[in-house]
Amino acid sequence: MKKWLRKSLVVGFTIMTFGLVTPPSALTMEPAKPNAPINPDTFERHQYPSHSVSFEDFKIDTKGSFVDLAMSKAEVLAFEKFGSRIGPVIEDEFKSIILPRIEEVIQSISDQYSNEELQRLVISEQVSGGNTEKIFHIYDEMSGNDIIRFHVRRDNPPQDGFWFNFHYHTHHDSFQTHHELGNIFWAKNTPPKWMS
């Protein structure tokens, strides 16, 4: 299936279901290239993989369409990071508490850019697993510089169990400040690794 058609179907599916249903994996997965050699150095040199989705591919013509696309990708990438063991446990709280706050932040980002500038923004698609914090980043395709980074950290306050701390960093202060989005309680026991 052609790449543009797949992307159009994913966006259409997301819009038709109001983002409540994840598009089928057959639409979101990149087709395998059977004879393509794998160069491990490629992954270390490039900050973002080549399959990152540019908002330009979806004809961003308003700030609202930018926010809609960013939010649909944010939810998909977050649940990819959570994996099948964490996702079902925190799904309701994430959707009711964290996602609306992510939307507010993305809306404020869109207010800082013109419609033409928004077309240069790209959302990273490489979710990090294990114990790393990255959910997704939005960056400028022309410069390669990050605009905003959305992360989740595991916290374990003494005698208080494990919490997932959702936050973001912006380029305005060189990504130094943690801007809180919210916390979700896990349990007293150690949570599984991301993407497990």
Output the 3-class SS for 11-78.
HHHHHHCCCCCCCCHHHHCCCCCCCCCCCHHHHHHCCCCCCCEEHHHHCCCCHHHHHHHHHHHHHHHH
Residue 103 has pLDDT above 50, yes or no: yes
Look at phi and psi of residue 60 and say left if phi exceeds 0, alpha if psi is from -120 to 50, else beta: beta
What is the predicted pLDDT for the residue at 65?
82
Q: What type of residue sits at position 42?
A: T
**Overall average pLDDT of the 87-101 stretch:** 96
Amino acid at 78: A
User: Who wins on pLDDT, 65 or 84?
Assistant: 84
Whole-number Å distance between alpha carbons of 142 and 164: 33
Q: Highest-confidence range of 13-22, 32-41, 127-136, by mean pLDDT?
A: 127-136
For residue 157, pLDDT over 50 is answered with yes
Cα dihedral: 69, 134, 150, 82 (round 10):
70
Q: Which helix (H) or strand (E) holds 182?
A: strand 179-187
Residue 17's alpha-carbon distances to 8, 9, 75, 160, 179, in angstroms, are 14, 12, 13, 38, 30
- Per-residue b or e along 149-176, where b marks 16 or more CB atoms closer than 10 Å to that residue's CB: bbbbeeeeeeeeebbbbbbbbbeeeeee
Residue 19: what pLDDT? 61
pLDDT averaged over every residue in the chain: 80
pLDDT of residue 5: 67
Instruction: Give the per-residue pLDDT at 159.
Output: 86
3-class DSSP assignment, residue 184 = strand
Whole-number pLDDT of residue 64: 77
What mean pLDDT is predicted for residues 115-143?
90
- State residue 60's pLDDT score: 52
More confidently predicted of 187 and 19: 187
* C-alpha 54, offset from chain centre: 13
- In this structure, which long-range contacts are made by residues 166-170, counting pairs with CB atoms below 8 Å and at least 24 apart in sequence? 166/98, 166/101, 168/102, 168/105
Whole-angstrom distance, CA of residue 130 vs CA of residue 25 = 22
For 46-73, what is each residue's pLDDT tens digit? 333 334 444 444 445 567 788 988 999 9
21-52: per-residue pLDDT in tens?
A: 666 655 555 554 444 443 333 333 333 333 44
